Amino acid sequence: MKVETKEKIEAEIQDWQYMKDLPPMWFGFVFTLEMKVYGDVYDLYSYENAAIHRKITVYYHEETKEYKVRVLIGLTEFCNIEYISPTREGLEKILLERFETTLQSLAKFNANTVSCIVLEKKILEWDYVAKLPETIEGFKLFIKPDQPVKTINGSYILFDYCDFATDSNFIIYYNVFRDEFFGEAKIRKIPEVNYAFDSHELIELEEKLDEHLLERLKEIRLRIDQ
């Protein structure tokens, strides 16, 4: 980040009363004043609940010249496009309108926020969840289908097997725009797509999970341990 950009942002937030008035604890999330630069990103502050592996960070992105909000759920991190603003004043307006609700939804699942398309797919009632072991090949079942998590570009996490110690996981997503289920892994933070789970219906996905899930998790574990 350019020195002049850093100085500009620091001048803008020096007397930012909104940030000064933020509570130290909010829905179980702990406030941290970050004020750290990572490449072209300047993290201002964050709220984190380490026990449930969730964090939300307010930052400035030099490349796009915008204030933004970044969400971390388990090992999945994304920019929440509802918060993008070129000005601090615009960001504050959005934060006042949305942040409390966003934080609350991170703290506790709310089925009312789930897309009607996901509900129509009967994902929340999917009985395959009973076949998903809590732990398998050293991975823990972090997210379950009865509480899917919305990410970006119309995608929801149906379930997520995580190994936090190695920054590795395996996720089954559902994308509402493509009406498609698909799988994606991270192996020591590096994303890896696998097409073996691509499906359009839950019954089709079940068949592919029965055939490939254990094999895929074993493969990921082997790659982690190499």
Tens-digit pLDDT profile for residues 40-66: 999 999 999 999 999 999 999 999 999
Q: Give this prediction's pTM.
A: 0.93
Q: State the pairing for strand pair 76-79/66-73.
A: antiparallel
Of 107, 134, 150, the position where a domain reaches its end is 107
| 17 and 42 share one domain | yes
Q: For the sheet containing 41-49, what is the strand order? A: 25-26, 29-38, 41-49, 54-61, 66-73, 76-79
Rounded to whole angstroms, how far apart are CA atoms 188 and 167?
5
pLDDT value, residue 164: 98
pLDDT tens by residue, 133-177: 999 999 999 999 999 999 999 999 999 999 999 999 999 999 999
| 215 and 129 share one domain | yes
Confidence at 226, pLDDT banded by 50, 70, 90: confident
| 215 and 121 share one domain | yes
pLDDT tens by residue, 170-192: 999 999 999 999 999 999 999 99
| 155 and 194 share one domain | yes
Of 56, 80, 107, the position where a domain reaches its end is 107
What is the token pair recorded at 119?
């509900």
Percent of the chain with pLDDT over 90: 98
| 137 and 75 share one domain | no
Mean pLDDT of the chain: 97
| 194 and 91 share one domain | no
- State how many domains the chain has: 2
Of 107, 139, 161, the position where a domain reaches its end is 107
Residue range of the domain that includes 206: 114-225
